[in-house]
A and B are shown apart, each in its own frame.
Chain A
């Protein structure tokens, strides 16, 4: 009964704004750069004599926020100027590479990440002559996230995947639509994501030595791990359980330019 009353109330409120009600869907893609990158380090160890050496360390821009955002969303304008939207944002990050050159070998590490986020948002717009500027503010909920690290050390090749856990952040976009017809518009927007992600667990998905797969025979403790907020230094190692590591955080915060197509579905 209570639900019915709320539903009738919502419908009544919506009917007051019926003047400019309209549904739409939109899809777009773009490019983004990380605005809060982490730094990663490449190093080169230089041998002077058998017992002495020194290291040259170089800082490099890391973070997982450089990449390609892809978005699909459905929205509803409940008045001439205001609407709500539910977006599905997929972000695939570019790889960041670091190289550590030791005197006897070198290790190459490449890391990239991806995030699938739901973004319920609030939209406001104005209709000018041909261009319709708009702004959107939303809550980002990263539901499927991962970070992949590929490592090569001498003849060993490994791939690790961090995954699990939800990320919560904020998104603001400011852009403009250009109507091509009553039905179709193109849009361009500057999109800012403020979000980071702490994975819950990780695992090796590849581990080969001289081309030979060693993953299948590795104990659980060596090929999987969980991230804990609090970590005891003296752990009893159980080969059948994942290793425990201190929690980490990846930055997906970025600013990007997204262009796409919007289809106005009418009332």
Chain B
């Protein structure tokens, strides 16, 4: 009974604003740069580490390509709500380290699929309709992939080992905020083009990780590796007194990766009418 009353009340409220009601869908893509990169380090050392350099490089997973698909509803001429699905694919950053001839190359990139419920306001000028949007980003499918190639120096038997590894960090939900300011340009009654500056404030702490590739000189090592050797979990509190069995994943302290960025997104909006 109570639910019915709320439902009727909501319908009545909506009916008050019928003047500007309209549904729409939109899709777009763009490019973004990280506003909060973490710093990553690569080094070159010789003489058993006695001489060499460490170089600081821009890390962070916020540089990349944002893609968005969203459906929205203007409940008045100026205000609306929207549900967006944001997919972000970050560019790869590369680190090359060399320790006494042992050469390791690391390439890392990440991705995030976020649901973004948002509030939108706009106003209509002649052909242009400027708008702003404020939403909560909920990163539901996130991952960080690192590919490592490690070529060791030749050992005393003149054998050089070559490791190829790929790890995936995944699991856990990321929560952040998104704001955008942009404008639509109407091509007709139904179709508009839009361009916006989009600011994402979000970071992600994965819950677990695993090796997806682990080869030594081309031979797959994964089948013979224990759970402890090939998978791990991130915990808020890591107790060093606990002895992990080989059937359990290794434990690490939580780590956080920045997906915060500012980007330019362009796309198409289709106005579906009432």
Contact = CB atoms under 8 A, between A and B. Distances in A.
A binds B: yes
A253 B36 contact: yes
Interface residues of A, number: 51
A38 to B, nearest CB: 6
B181 A124 contact: yes
A227 to B, nearest CB: 9
Contacts of A190: 134, 177, 179
A263 interface: no
B167 to A, nearest CB: 19
Given A54-B241, A59-B236, A247 B78 contact: no
Interface in A242-256: 246-249, 251-255
A41 B132 CA distance: 38
A233 B176 contact: no
Interface string B230-274: 000001111111000000000001111011111000000000000
A41 B130 CA distance: 45
Interface stretch (B23-31, B37-45, B89-97, B156-164): B37-45
Interface string B12-51: 0000000000000000000000011111010101000111
A169 B200 CA distance: 12
A233 B179 contact: no
Contacts of A39: 205, 253-256
A194 interface: yes
B228 interface: no
Interface of A: 35-39, 41, 46, 48, 54-59, 81, 124, 126, 128, 133, 135-137, 169-174, 190, 192-196, 198, 228-234, 246-249, 251-255
Give the top 9 A-B pairs by smallest Cβ distance, nearest first: A35-B201, A194-B35, A135-B132, A54-B240, A59-B254, A172-B179, A36-B260, A36-B36, A170-B262
20 contacts: A35-B260, A36-B201, A37-B256, A46-B241, A48-B241, A56-B238, A56-B240, A57-B237, A58-B253, A59-B237, A124-B132, A174-B121, A194-B35, A194-B36, A196-B35, A229-B55, A233-B53, A247-B56, A249-B36, A252-B36
